[in-house]
Amino acid sequence: MKDLSLHIMDIIQNSVRAEASNVELEIREDLEKDIYSISIKDDGCGMSEEVLSRVLDPFFTTRTTRKVGLGLSLLKQSAEQTGGKLEIYSKEGVGTELQVLFSHKNIDRPVIGDIAGVMVLLVSANPNMDFVYKHHTAKGEYIFDTKEIKEVLEDVSVTDPNIMQYLKELINENLNTII
């Protein structure tokens, strides 16, 4: 994966497959403590203890189309390369939470990349799901909440290409003020 936004997109696809209706992504940047943390929480079907214990194994997947499942392993490796870690909690029928820690200053920490584009693609590809994206830095915080967006848009769909462009701008403009 080229950057963190692609990892995030990949991991959130798991929430989509777990039939979650709400997904919350939170990114915290703390330069003083040298922390770059990403947490992703969903209310999908969750995992059994047996699946959870194997989920970080790159040769384990619940898919039938192939024999490997690299998404979580790649993200874990990426975090560990910076001295960070990845932890995952899940309860069947309740949901799953993923917490990833990176060293903010480490040269191996991938950049965030086009997170606005990723969020907009996720929102438009899953119009029936709700997403919250919170980004905190020392300069402030920005919260992108699709429930608010859908209220503003009323009967206009988030899948419209013009609306997608506006949403991308909205996220980028606000992130630019805090990153």
Residues engaged in binding other proteins (CB under 8 A): 1, 6, 9-10, 13, 16-17, 63, 65-66, 69-71, 74, 114, 117-118, 121, 124-125, 148-149, 152-154, 156-157, 159-167, 169-170, 173-174
CB of 15 vs other proteins, minimal distance in Å: 13
| Burial class (CB within 10 angstroms; exposed 0-12, middle 13-18, buried 19+) of 2 | exposed
CB of 6 vs other proteins, minimal distance in Å: 5
Tell me the pairing of strands 22-30 and 95-103: unpaired
CB of 32 vs other proteins, minimal distance in Å: 28
Please report the DSSP string for 52-101 in residue order: HHHTT-TT--S-SS-S---HHHHHHHHHHTTT-EEEEEEETTTEEEEEEE
CB of 45 vs other proteins, minimal distance in Å: 15
For 27, the enclosing helix (H) or strand (E) is: strand 22-30
CB of 142 vs other proteins, minimal distance in Å: 11
Q: Nearer Cβ to other proteins, position 50 or 154?
A: 154
Q: Nearer Cβ to other proteins, position 104 or 120?
A: 120
Q: Nearer Cβ to other proteins, position 92 or 160?
A: 160
Q: Nearer Cβ to other proteins, position 83 or 127?
A: 127
Whether the CB-CB separation of 61 and 67 falls below 8 Å is answered with yes
Q: Nearer Cβ to other proteins, position 26 or 58?
A: 58
Whether the CB-CB separation of 133 and 141 falls below 8 Å is answered with no
